[in-house]
Structure 1
Amino acid sequence: MTEMLQGSLCERLDPRETPDAAIAMIDADGTVVGWTTTAQRLVGYLAAEVVGQPVSTVLPLTRRTLREWSSTEQCLARGGWSGTSTVRHRDGHALKASMRISLLRGQDREIHWLVSGTDITSLSPVATTGWVRDSLLTRTPIGIVVRDRDLHCAWANDAMEQQDGVCCDQRLGRRPTDALPGTDTERLEGVMRQVLDSDVTAVHEYRAWPPTDPCREHAIAASYFCLQDADGRAMGVCCMSVDITAAQRARERLAILSEAGTRIGNSLDVMQIGQELADIAVPLLADYVNVDLAESIEFGEAPFARIGPLDDRRPVLRRAGLASIHPGIPESPWARGELVSLPPGSPFTTVLSSGRSHLEPVLDGSPGTWFDHDPDRARTMRESGMHSLMVVPICTRCSFLGTAVFIRTEEPTPFQEDDLLLAEELVSRTALSLDNARRYARERSAALTLQRNLLPPRSVQGTAIETASRYLPADVDNGVGGDWFDVIPLSGARTALVVGDVVGHGINAAATMGRLRTAVHTLADLDLPPDELLTHLDDTVRRMAEEDADSHDPTRVTGATCLYAIYDPVTRKCTMARAGHPPPAVVDPHGTVTFPHLPTGRPLGVGLGTPFEAVELELPEGSRLALYTDGLIESRDHDIDTGMKRLGNALTHPGRSLEGLCSSVIDTVQTQSPGDDVTLLVARTHALSPSQTTCWELPSDPAIVRHARALVTRRLAQWGLQRLEASTELIISELVTNAVRHAAGPILLRLIRHQVLTCEVSDTSNTLPRLRHACAVDEGGRGLYIVAQLCQRQGARCLTRGGKTVWAEQELDAGI
């Protein structure tokens, strides 16, 4: 018999996995006293053929074997035997079955046996592995109860007492409603009666609060089988049940972790991630959760290192996440976003110094504990009923990001080790998302700081022009870009307006933008016309691209677009050219918006092509120019024409201030987190009155220098600038003398009084003078050097019609 019944004592099987198991009931003498329809399907015998017959008719069991088992301590202690056996089918062939023989007790301690089995060959390999092998490992005790037609308990095994805490004497002879307090017994009895009436096996799960553990809800899974007598009539119902609380809690934990994977870390905002952790844990794990993060990581800075046990320094934490089952979160003395204090000797400082989690199943708030140093928390603990605590450090790469605190108030069950393991897994996943967000915030902050430091002030007020601007960075998915704008003062009271857009996003785009902005400033100082400036800027961009190609850095970006315009308040003319950039918007004093036709030009750095072309417009005084990047007019849902029409409608407000106009234009952006940077520069033009400028045409004659000084002296007297007469006479003498010596044809002398006094001398020569130091034996070469000592700025520019202009600027309050 030992060889035929290969197995081990009391292998535990889950009845939910075997709803079609064959069930038979045997008395102490080995006679079959109960049979089921599933048993008939397995071995082919009707109830009338086996009930009342020895069990050896079907199974290799004898009365002697059963008597030996009933007196064996090991079998009695473990409740029976389980393993694999060979079963004889009615037609004579043998079946290999997984068997379980359980010891049942009745009134007066009478013994019966319940046999359950399943044909192994009918199971798939996967099912066989899951049903047989896993059952050997799980060791889950199965409770068995046999009830008569009136649902009174006739037989039960010892495992049922372990499962629901009801002893055999209290169970036998009673219905479920009399023996199972705290259980939905009426529903259970309904399921049993349905099985008795239909002879169909049923599987049912229910909740119970056994007397041995009344504070914790238990999940019970049960299978119900109808037992038949020799006449095939229902004689009772057999219930095989197992406590699946641990398995269900494991599934719940897996569900929590699965949900955490989808909900935590979708944002790159550290405060939002902290709140996501709190929202996940309440109420699935705790009744109240708070998440405190190091204040530095919100700005992308490095987290703090572990503090020593004797270290008086305590890190500054900010409350990032709060969640509670109670409205208003009364458990937290601090609101979300506020700084949180850490009392000395508390579990929070212990966690930060040791790096290990703290579990306090029963929270002790009595005098002499760490609550003495934290009266606010002590009072909150008493008022809210906190009774169990877990503190888990949020750390990654040996650095601490903060702490997560889990507390139970309404849930009576204290935290256990498995709860701590789940909390640590949640916090571990959150820590990775927080560290990624911190690193992103650091890079984004560096890029934004770089870009904002490279951009000019938002508004510029001048004699020739006044401006206002807006910059809206790209959304968090794409990061900061390389948009820039500039307002550059030029000689002759002119002003250059620049808007550009570097391809790409991130800190590399911002760095490239800074290089291009510096290049534009340098080229603007040479007083180049817009088309020539873009040509030189294109050469600069292509040279940068070649250098980046040699460095094999795939993150470098050098492609760009640019619009460059020069406004002259004396002539009210604006000359502009563009390199692949959207055209400007021009608003006349009456509010009419036009987009002047400018040759598009190729983007900067794309290679050789047609030269850039400049267009000159005459603007009425009080006109407004709007320069922008494509992020303002382009979107995934609308084309450029729609965006330009929207921009034009926003600019049609002649009486609105420039700041208000910028705000109304930015409000037209579809979202405040666009996919590309948005840059807007709005300028209102002014014209210099005829009284602010004077121009003389002089012959190319050395004697004219003296006359030129007299003309300038009289004009300065009319303007009330006599204090500048001496320095201005010296400047005019040198500039006119150079024009007479080195050029032919008429000489044009012009004075402009605006924020500075500008002296300009124009001639027909295309050779620009250079400032140099003359040697001791040189008779000349000191003129421009003398001019440079007398003025604030000086320079020279070529004229588009030919010739050049040499100029010098003096501060209006200067003198010698």
Structure 2
Amino acid sequence: MGATGEQIGPARSRERFLGGEPLTGGVRSPIMNSWLRCQSLGLSPDQTELPYRDDFDPDSRLVRAAAPVLDQLASRFSGSPMNVALADAGGTVLERRFGEPDLARTLPPIQSVPGFVFAERVAGTNGIGLALAERRLVQVYGAEHFAQRSQSSACSATPIRDQLSGDIVGVLCFGYPHSYQDPALAALVRRAAETVERRLMEQRSARERALLRTYLDAGHLAHGGADTGNGHLIALAELGDSGLGRGDQLILKEKATELICSTQRAAVEVALPHGRGVTLMSRPVTSRSGVEGVVVEAVLTGEASEAPRAGPANHTAGPAPADHVTGPTRGLVLVGEPEVGKYAVAARRRLELLAEASARIGTTLDVTRTARELAEMAVPRLADYVTIDVPEAVLRGEESAHPATELHRAVVHGVRDDCPFYPAGRRVELRAGTPHMRCLDSGQEVLEPDLSTAVGWIDQEPEHARRILDRGVHSLVCVPLLARGVLLGIASFYRSRDPAPFGDDDSRLARELAARAALCIDNARRYTREHTLALALQRSLLPHGMPEQGAVEVAHRYLPSESGVGGDWFDVIPLSGARVALLVGDVVGHGLHAAATMGRLRTAARNFAELELAPDELLTHLDNLLVRLDREEGGENDAGSTGIVGATCLYAVYDPTSRLCTMARAGHPPPALVHPDGGVVFPELPAGPPLGLGGLPFETAEIRLTEGSTLVLYTDGLIEGRHRDLDVTLDRLSRALAHRGRSPEDTCRAVIDAVAPDHPEDDIALLVARTRTLPADRVASWDVPADPAEVSGVRAAATRRLTDWGLEEQAFAAELMLSELVTNAVRYGTEPIQVRLILDRTLICEVSDGSSTAPHLRRAASTEEGGRGLFLVAQLAHAWGTRYTPHGKVIWAECALDAA
């Protein structure tokens, strides 16, 4: 097979790279990172010599475990140009096998003789060195090698790990000509490495069996039990016959594992759940082959007359000194090597950390808080310092299109407050080649056991790197925060106090912690997005400003809850006759559905208010509307719709000419009324059922207010809560309101500061209105007999009053409107008939009569003599309409004061 396009592409890229040209693609990420490291180390691609070591152990545990596997591979590749190399964790080749035996004689020593070092730091990019650097299966083809001598070869290599510790103990590498490629080689080298790993574990088992045989031969345990003067000895399987259940045995084994970690003698009291105490005693033992281990026995009954003292390990074969025990039953619990015990304890602690992380990470739906919980879990049990960087878009609940360029430091947490890292809240800029950027680019964790050799990081950020290294930080694991295919940021774990560098087990633990946290962060991000959308929707549906009106001076507040946007709303609606409507309401539930329902109710309430409905009638119409909406959406519940649960509402209408306030409520808290002297009362209003239940009719209450009174309307989020007493909260509200002469804005501020909870569980809507009174000299009224001849007198009286008010320019339009309205009342209405002029922000003309017949605007034909009166009023008036009273109706028209 000749040269392919795959060869030509990397070859050209390598030439350009060595020539100093920037590369934006065409090279696999692991290869590019390796080239960058080689360049930073000052390696020459023309280098032909490699370090050689003659002090390696040709009969090491790794060589003994791998020898049969290497022989099988040599047989499998017999007659092919394949060569198989076994290297140790430092990159030194320990063994070689060839498919063609003559190949070893034709190759140069560097490719055929064991002892040469192929670590990346001395040999450049190659299979063995890259497998150690990437810590995973790698493949290197032709020009992807850094050294010129390897351009015609290819290789597949994978690390060999100790299954107990997780540490890399060697590398298995297949080498072959570049033209000899087989996709199955990667899987084959992986299976072969796994076989070597299993054989290493079998060696461990053989060592433990040798320790057990030494223990048995020394007379510590008699077959079936025997009395040797030190108590009755039983086997591990017989512990259950002595009253120890399976759970008790697991507890003893766990504690025994910790004792095995030390080679010294020790005795530990273990309290079992049922109250029985057991003493565990550890004894050092050495097998005939020189393997040192520990035996742990359990003293099940009896009292020790002399507690065993901790002392130096006994490294000689044979029985350990007997303890003076009075008739105990003793059982063998565990036999093992101290290092194995350390690995077992570390593995258990990692499982405990993961189990605890499941409960402690993600307690809130807040991105930053969830990231902090991840950091708090990892320090100090995994790392000494943790930094977490997320794109600013994620903090807003969005996905980031360019996470590497939008990173924001969310968390810095460590064993010391003066962390040597960029502080939280700062924008983080990562540079190419650093471990953090490699982690983001690859989407995989990056392990740097020795930060002082992380050349890409040190070269790119020398001052920052030096500051971190000076604090003793020596090891790093970078882990991407990935959830549902979305990159949410990066978590970096650092070690300083613990002298042991991070290993693969630590890297995997960090990855597991980050994966769990990433899922919680993504949930928080999605919640933040929905919360933001719901809040934006609700704010768009709430009033953006207060309308112009002269009846009340108003101020308002709206506070969304922390648990989710609700359906609270408020409104101020100018009505005819200089009146104003005040409205607060609360839709049950939270989220987009509640906000959308609130918008529909607020729109409906404004429309009903425009119809001049009385408060009880308006609530009845809202109730009917909500029942109808609930019925319509209830049919969709089977498809997953939530339906509408209900709402509460308080509606008040204030008339500044009579100072009369008419109110009705539907399951809503009553308002607070602050008198001008500072006294506070809560008027008793008929409660009425909540909206949407189709319950009892609503009732109104009328209160005549003193000028300067303050009406305070609010939703239940202000005064209610799971951990709040309603009476205490109302008393606090009363004290906050009990001030005279305070503006509505100051009242709002005082109420929120004194009454609103620090972390609202429900939305809070607050509306404060201080009443005004229209002076009597700005209102004029006349009673009109039902006689068409009286119309002219009304016009004349109105003209005189307008002249007194300085509105001569409006007199002509007012005369025409009054003439038409009074004529209609005399002709079609019933007595009593009354005319009223009100000077407010506009000139208001009102004609009332005792009839409930509604006038209708129509377009009169050219041949008709009548039907043009209301059309003429509509043309002259700024606005006009009809409202009904208990005694008839009022037809009104407004004329702008600046309109002639």
In structure 1, what residue type is equivalent to 2:365?
Answer: L
TM-score between both structures, scaled by the size of structure 1: 0.72
Q: Kindly state the Cα deviation for residue 720 of structure 1 after the two structures are TM-superposed.
A: 2.3
Residue 257, structure 1, aligned to residue 347, structure 2: no
Is the Cα–Cα contact under 8 Å of residues 572 and 687 in structure 1 kept in the other structure?
yes
In the alignment, the residues of structure 2 paired with residue 370 and residue 9 of structure 1 have an alpha-carbon distance, to the nearest angstrom, of 40
Q: Kindly state the Cα deviation for residue 340 of structure 1 after the two structures are TM-superposed.
A: 1.5
Residue 723, structure 1, aligned to residue 832, structure 2: no
Residue 584, structure 1, aligned to residue 671, structure 2: yes
In structure 1, what residue type is equivalent to 2:226?
Answer: V
Q: Which of 553, 572, 577 is the equivalent residue of 1:487?
A: 572
Q: Kindly state the Cα deviation for residue 670 of structure 1 after the two structures are TM-superposed.
A: 6.7
Is the Cα–Cα contact under 8 Å of residues 551 and 773 in structure 2 kept in the other structure?
yes
Q: Which of 368, 382, 387 is the equivalent residue of 2:474?
A: 387
Residue 276, structure 1, aligned to residue 276, structure 2: no
Is the Cα–Cα contact under 8 Å of residues 458 and 468 in structure 1 kept in the other structure?
no
Residue 714, structure 1, aligned to residue 770, structure 2: no
Q: Which of 620, 645, 660 is the equivalent residue of 1:573?
A: 660
Distance 1:24 1:387, change over 3 A: closer
Listed one character per residue, the Cα deviations across residues 598-619 of structure 1 (whole Å, up to 9, x for unaligned) are 222222221243x222121111
Listed one character per residue, the Cα deviations across residues 288-334 of structure 1 (whole Å, up to 9, x for unaligned) are 21001121122222x235x6xxxxx84411111111223221x212x
- Residue aligning to 2:56: none
Is the Cα–Cα contact under 8 Å of residues 852 and 888 in structure 2 kept in the other structure?
yes
Listed one character per residue, the Cα deviations across residues 80-122 of structure 1 (whole Å, up to 9, x for unaligned) are xxxxxxxxx9xxxxxxxxxxxxxxxxxxxxxxxxxx9936455
Residue 655, structure 1, aligned to residue 741, structure 2: yes
In structure 2, what residue type is equivalent to 1:561?
Answer: T
Is the Cα–Cα contact under 8 Å of residues 675 and 710 in structure 2 kept in the other structure?
yes
Q: Kindly state the Cα deviation for residue 554 of structure 1 after the two structures are TM-superposed.
A: 5.1
Residue 344, structure 1, aligned to residue 439, structure 2: no
In the alignment, the residues of structure 2 paired with residue 535 and residue 757 of structure 1 have an alpha-carbon distance, to the nearest angstrom, of 32
The answer to which of 778-787 and 253-262 deviates more is 778-787
Residue 792, structure 1, aligned to residue 792, structure 2: no
Q: How does 1:618-697 map to 2 (within 5 A)?
A: 618-637=704-723, 640-669=726-755, 671-697=757-783
In the alignment, the residues of structure 2 paired with residue 223 and residue 254 of structure 1 have an alpha-carbon distance, to the nearest angstrom, of 37
Q: Which of 528, 534, 537 is the equivalent residue of 1:441?
A: 528
In the alignment, the residues of structure 2 paired with residue 616 and residue 283 of structure 1 have an alpha-carbon distance, to the nearest angstrom, of 67
- Residue aligning to 1:109: none
When Rg is computed on C-alpha atoms for both structures, the one with the higher figure is 1
Q: Which of 444, 449, 470 is the equivalent residue of 1:356?
A: 444
Listed one character per residue, the Cα deviations across residues 561-604 of structure 1 (whole Å, up to 9, x for unaligned) are 21111100001111111122222222211122222222222222
Q: Kindly state the Cα deviation for residue 247 of structure 1 after the two structures are TM-superposed.
A: 1.3
In the alignment, the residues of structure 2 paired with residue 674 and residue 709 of structure 1 have an alpha-carbon distance, to the nearest angstrom, of 59
Is the Cα–Cα contact under 8 Å of residues 794 and 808 in structure 1 kept in the other structure?
yes
Distance 1:481 1:366, change over 3 A: closer
Distance 1:758 1:22, change over 3 A: same
Q: Kindly state the Cα deviation for residue 711 of structure 1 after the two structures are TM-superposed.
A: 2.7
Q: How does 1:551-566 map to 2 (within 5 A)?
A: 551-552=636-637, 553=640, 555-566=642-653
In the alignment, the residues of structure 1 paired with residue 552 and residue 319 of structure 2 have an alpha-carbon distance, to the nearest angstrom, of 91
Q: How does 1:10-49 map to 2 (within 5 A)?
A: 11=205, 23=215, 35-36=219-220, 39=222, 42-44=225-227
Q: Which of 619, 628, 632 is the equivalent residue of 1:547?
A: 632
Is the Cα–Cα contact under 8 Å of residues 277 and 321 in structure 1 kept in the other structure?
no
In the alignment, the residues of structure 2 paired with residue 253 and residue 621 of structure 1 have an alpha-carbon distance, to the nearest angstrom, of 72
Identity level (%): 46
Q: Give the secondary structure class of the aligned counterpart of 2:820.
A: helix
- Residue aligning to 1:326: 416
Distance 1:723 1:242, change over 3 A: same
Q: Give the secondary structure class of the aligned counterpart of 2:792.
A: helix
Listed one character per residue, the Cα deviations across residues 623-658 of structure 1 (whole Å, up to 9, x for unaligned) are 111122233333345554444333222221113222
- Residue aligning to 2:129: none
Q: How does 1:736-751 map to 2 (within 5 A)?
A: 736-751=822-837
- Residue aligning to 2:483: 396
Q: Higher relative contact order by CA 8 Å / sep ≥ 6: 1 or 2?
A: 1
Q: Give the secondary structure class of the aligned counterpart of 2:321.
A: strand
Q: Which runs of 5+ in 1 are unaligned?
A: 1-7, 26-33, 48-88, 90-115, 147-152, 165-187, 192-196, 209-219, 229-238, 308-312
Q: Kindly state the Cα deviation for residue 717 of structure 1 after the two structures are TM-superposed.
A: 2.5
Q: Kindly state the Cα deviation for residue 377 of structure 1 after the two structures are TM-superposed.
A: 3.1
Residue 242, structure 1, aligned to residue 338, structure 2: yes
In the alignment, the residues of structure 2 paired with residue 224 and residue 508 of structure 1 have an alpha-carbon distance, to the nearest angstrom, of 77
Distance 1:160 1:278, change over 3 A: farther
- Residue aligning to 1:733: 819
TM-score between both structures, scaled by the size of structure 2: 0.65
Listed one character per residue, the Cα deviations across residues 155-188 of structure 1 (whole Å, up to 9, x for unaligned) are 9547766889xxxxxxxxxxxxxxxxxxxxxxx9
In structure 2, what residue type is equivalent to 1:630?
Answer: D
- Residue aligning to 2:614: 529
In the alignment, the residues of structure 2 paired with residue 446 and residue 650 of structure 1 have an alpha-carbon distance, to the nearest angstrom, of 34
Number of matched pairs: 652
Is the Cα–Cα contact under 8 Å of residues 612 and 883 in structure 2 kept in the other structure?
yes
Is the Cα–Cα contact under 8 Å of residues 494 and 567 in structure 1 kept in the other structure?
yes
Distance 1:129 1:160, change over 3 A: farther
Is the Cα–Cα contact under 8 Å of residues 215 and 285 in structure 2 kept in the other structure?
no
Listed one character per residue, the Cα deviations across residues 519-566 of structure 1 (whole Å, up to 9, x for unaligned) are 110100011111111121221121112112222255222412211111
Q: Kindly state the Cα deviation for residue 130 of structure 1 after the two structures are TM-superposed.
A: 9.2
Listed one character per residue, the Cα deviations across residues 129-171 of structure 1 (whole Å, up to 9, x for unaligned) are 999xx99xx9x9999999xxxxxx999547766889xxxxxxx
Is the Cα–Cα contact under 8 Å of residues 674 and 738 in structure 2 kept in the other structure?
yes
In structure 2, what residue type is equivalent to 1:354?
Answer: S
Q: Kindly state the Cα deviation for residue 518 of structure 1 after the two structures are TM-superposed.
A: 0.9
Distance 1:695 1:391, change over 3 A: same
Q: Kindly state the Cα deviation for residue 13 of structure 1 after the two structures are TM-superposed.
A: 8.3
In the alignment, the residues of structure 1 paired with residue 319 and residue 659 of structure 2 have an alpha-carbon distance, to the nearest angstrom, of 97
The answer to which of 418-427 and 777-786 deviates more is 777-786
Q: Kindly state the Cα deviation for residue 799 of structure 1 after the two structures are TM-superposed.
A: 1.3
